[in-house]
Chains A and B, each alone.
Chain A
Amino acid sequence: MVEHNNSDHDSAGDHGHGHLQLEYQPALPINNGKVCLWLFLSTEIMFFAGLIGTYIVLRFGAPGIWPAPHDVHVVEFFGAFNTFVLICSSVSIVLALEDARENNASRARLWLGVTFVLGCVFMGIKGYEYSSKFSHGIYPQSPRSLIYDRADVYYVAAVRDALQDKMQYYNDQRTAILAGRTEDDLGPDAKPDFVAANKEFQRYLQLKRAGPDFTEQLIAENGDAFEQQAAIIALAYRVYPIERFAERVHSYRQTELSSLADQQMLAKQERDRLQAELLDLESQLTDLDPAEDKKALTDQVKFAKDRLVFLNERVAVIEARQSVFWGSDDAATEADGGHGQGWNDQHHLKLPMHIPNGNMWASTYFLMTGFHALHVLVGLIMFLIILTKRLDASKAGLLENVGLYWHFVDLVWIFLFPLLYLF
């Protein structure tokens, strides 16, 4: 056609008769549907370029380190497999178009059905990926998201509050089962429930003592900003391990464990001394003449008893720290780089997690994959509508347009896959 136009022009120039035999061309030499679709796709190119540009600004402009895929439960293989699924679906819809052009309606429908199924597989894997993030408390927005960008005192307080809520829950359960009775009065039907609730309560009490309670005490007593930070990061690592902190937490573990042993020894020594002192004071108290003023001695006894309660709690916290926090699971933690070994996974907890830049990651991830999934969904709806028709040569134009849209969806994923899974 272009050649045709050119020859028209040439002949007009050659002869110069003033009667140009121009061919009137009202639009692009394709049908209106295809023009509109390409117009739409060109706006879509810019739409997704805008999203990718946003990602570049937010991700590479973000101070600090962006979450590694495994920090946020992104599995590269799923992304690669979904890429493969979309490529397969692109081939199948091209084959459907070829069959429709050859007027082979039944085979065209078969290939379109294959495309539809592959699109559903893509959405299924996407849904599985989303649910694995949701179940770990990774959401794009705050009421449900458990992600904390910083490991600071607010983070520790949030962990403490979450454990406190758990303890409160099982404490309420305990008191409801007791219903004013003591543990020994419980019948055989209520006893196991009480024991179970009590066990859970004690478990969370130990976690709270070993984690946030100890950390807050350390922050209050220890003025060294580096050690405060290290302790908070250790807490965050115990709740939700992030591989890049493993080495740092491990080296901090050594220093803290040796200082813990000292503290424990000192606390126990003081306790023993106090207990002896208390015995002495009490014997003095009984030996005392009833007429004399007992006030000074009883005050001393009261002070010693209060101090003993404090020391016992202190020893309990230190022992919980040694066994529950730094204890036996450390070997397992190192075995797989710490993944899946946090309290959140071990105890099915939903404690706040420290993921630097995690909230920004969640926003960009869900924004980009969400918009892409919406496009896939629209494509699937169009496939369903077209599948009801007879796909002979008269429908080839329709099938071509839907195919162009579907290829574009594939095209976007080709860029999203490395950007979101492999960068």
Chain B
Amino acid sequence: MTDHSDQHDDDHGGDDHPHVDRKVFILVFVILSGLTVISFVFGNYGTEMGLSKEMTWVAMMLVSCAKAGLVICCFMHLWWEANWKWVLTIPASLMSIFLVIMLIPDVGCRTNRYTDERWNNAAPAVSETQDRTRPAPTVPERDMGGEN
């Protein structure tokens, strides 16, 4: 916008906003509600439907991303905004997404490959989650002989 039109058009925030039919908002609202129900169903009955726990997590996060996309595009009007919209949203989103994507395998899944010895030294006693049917993990004999 030029200075001229800025002064002229101040009360409209200086940018044009296309007229969006209210039916669009209602439609998006219905979709969002439906997606909420879907993630609720995945969360509570996902394992009964034969999905693994991890798969229900992935499904729920995908649903959440879809919902977030709808809210950003429609309710926050980003769909109709000019190209400035990429300047702020892309870097922030990339940093957040990369942070999360890097943390999941790096830290989040680190206990997946714990050895029994590592488990023996883990914070809560592993015996809490065990019963007699599974023998206690044995600690390998430590090599005490090394003088050097």
Contacts and interface: CB of A to CB of B under 8 A. Distances in A.
Contacts of A404: 76
A46 B95 contact: yes
Contacts of A396: 11-13
A61 B92 contact: no
Contacts of A110: none
Contacts of A364: none
Given A28-B87, A56-B103, A65-B129, A87 B64 contact: no
A30 B96 contact: no
Contacts of B75: 90-91, 94, 403, 407, 410
A108 interface: no
A418 B39 contact: yes
A154 interface: no
B80 interface: no
Interface string B54-92: 001100110110011001100111000011100111011
A151 interface: yes
Contacts of B56: 422
A46 B90 CA distance: 12
B13 A397 contact: yes
A225 interface: yes
Nearest to B127: A229
A56 B100 contact: yes
A42 interface: yes
Contact of A30 (B26, B84, B99): B84
The interface residues of chain A, by DSSP majority, are classed as helix
B123 A64 contact: yes
Given A46-B96, A397-B13, A422-B60, A63 B82 contact: no
A151 B126 CA distance: 11
Interface in A409-423: 410-411, 414-415, 417-418, 421-423
Interface residues of A, number: 73
B109 A30 contact: no
Contacts of A229: 125, 127-128
Contacts of A46: 92, 95-96
B43 interface: yes
A76 interface: yes
Contacts of B11: 393-394, 396-397
A91 B128 contact: no
Nearest to A54: B103
B148 interface: no
B103 A53 contact: yes
Contacts of A30: 13-15, 84
A50 B88 contact: no
B127 A61 contact: no
B57 A423 contact: yes
B115 interface: no
A43 interface: yes
B147 interface: no
A24 B28 CA distance: 38
Given A1-B82, A84-B36, A49 B96 contact: yes
Given A29-B82, A64-B124, A76-B43, A42 B22 contact: no
Contacts, number: 188
B104 A414 contact: no
B32 A87 contact: yes
Given A76-B43, A229-B127, A29 B100 contact: no
A63 B122 contact: yes
B61 A422 contact: no
B2 interface: yes
A366 interface: no
A206 interface: no
A60 B68 contact: no
A276 interface: no
B8 interface: no
A161 interface: no
A20 to B, nearest CB: 16
B142 interface: no
Q: Which of A2, A396, A414 has the most chain B CB atoms closer than 10 A to its own CB?
A: A414
A98 to B, nearest CB: 6
A357 B122 CA distance: 12
A61 B111 contact: yes
Interface string B107-141: 11111001000010011111111011000100000
A62 to B, nearest CB: 8
Contacts of A94: 25, 75
Interface of B: 1-2, 6, 10-15, 17, 20, 22, 25-26, 28-29, 32-33, 36-37, 39-40, 42-44, 56-57, 60-61, 63-64, 67-68, 71-72, 75-77, 82-84, 87-89, 91-93, 95-97, 99-100, 103-104, 107-111, 114, 119, 122-129, 131-132, 136
21 contacts: A1-B1, A2-B82, A28-B84, A30-B14, A38-B89, A42-B89, A43-B92, A49-B99, A56-B103, A56-B108, A60-B107, A60-B109, A62-B123, A63-B114, A95-B22, A150-B124, A356-B129, A400-B77, A422-B42, A423-B57, A423-B60
